[in-house]
Structure 1
């Protein structure tokens, strides 16, 4: 009886693993970038990548990201939703849209909702994208430090000459491994 129970549980385990491996596994990655406009507004660029990491095709894939409050954001271009007829195994699709805000403050966004159908199940499946970090709309940000090409042009040759001289001095001063090996063989 115990052997039959073990065999039955192993059969169930393998059949559930096989069923999982023959299905779609949908992931969504949501990215947001902010850019200030001269008009006193801030542009919010939203991009969502939808991946099918499963081994089967997903059908009737729909993406909805309608968590952007119309009191705070105006849609500038694109749509907050999109759909695709199918998403093959290993494939990725992207969707993006641009919003604009004139309201200052912190905004906490929610994940986008992805719905899809797989042939082995009658009900629509649901997945969520990654959430975004809180957005500080119209916040004062310090200017970004950019690489100073002027300094490279002015001091680059001096730094390279000093580096070469330093490497030469190090090579002359440090003992050679081959001569150290020969000295240890002579002592034996």
Structure 2
């Protein structure tokens, strides 16, 4: 009996310690970053990569001296067309969002695996800079040979996207038409009674 009570007390104390450390860690900035990349084929046969990174502070206090660095875009594969791969903000308040974007042009045909962006920030209660990482991007098949779109590919895409909606609207219109038009049996010939 005494062993059971001792184990119960230890379990409760461990749970309280874990809960208090979790609550203490939530008592500061909590940075979440989402990185997205989109390929766009240009008429000249080259390809552009549009990169956008959203940085959120999901914590309960402000993060200071926030720096975003997305240096994984190697210069032998990409040229920067617009923007910079790094930026900084003086502060990121609790619940705030900052976005950063830039555009690159691909020089080499390759399969590119991008690294997450690195976000560093300062918390007033800690001496060392804190680090957070963005989500990684899916591999980019740069300058890949893609088959040309077929002539009626756009019609197929529209049919797949809006087909169910078109069929429902067609059924409703047909039903309204059938209800609204008089039937042929209710005409003058149908009203005569046989004697």
TM-score band, normalised by the shorter chain? 0.7 to 0.9
Residue of structure 2 equivalent to 1:179 = none
Residue of structure 1 equivalent to 2:184 = none
| TM-score, reference length from structure 2 | 0.71
Summarize the alignment of residues 163-178 of structure 1 with structure 2, pairs less than 5 Å apart: 163-164=171-172, 167=175
Structure 1 residue runs of 5 or longer lacking an equivalent are 152-157, 172-188
**CA 1:78–1:163 in 2, change beyond 3 Å: closer, same or farther?**
same
Residue of structure 2 equivalent to 1:27 = 32
Larger radius of gyration: 2
**CA 1:86–1:141 in 2, change beyond 3 Å: closer, same or farther?**
same
Residue of structure 2 equivalent to 1:181 = none
CA distance in 1, matches of 2:135, 2:167: 44
CA RMSD of aligned residues (A): 3.1
CA distance in 2, matches of 1:25, 1:140: 42
Runs of 4 or more above 2 Å deviation: 1-15, 140-148, 158-162, 164-168
Structure 2 residue runs of 5 or longer lacking an equivalent are 160-165, 180-195
Is the 1:40–1:102 Cα contact (8 Å) retained in structure 2? Answer: no
Is the 2:76–2:107 Cα contact (8 Å) retained in structure 1? Answer: no
Q: CA deviation at 1:147?
A: 5.0
SS of aligned partner of 1:146:
helix
Q: Do residues 78 (structure 1) and 79 (structure 2) align? A: no
Residue of structure 2 equivalent to 1:58 = 63
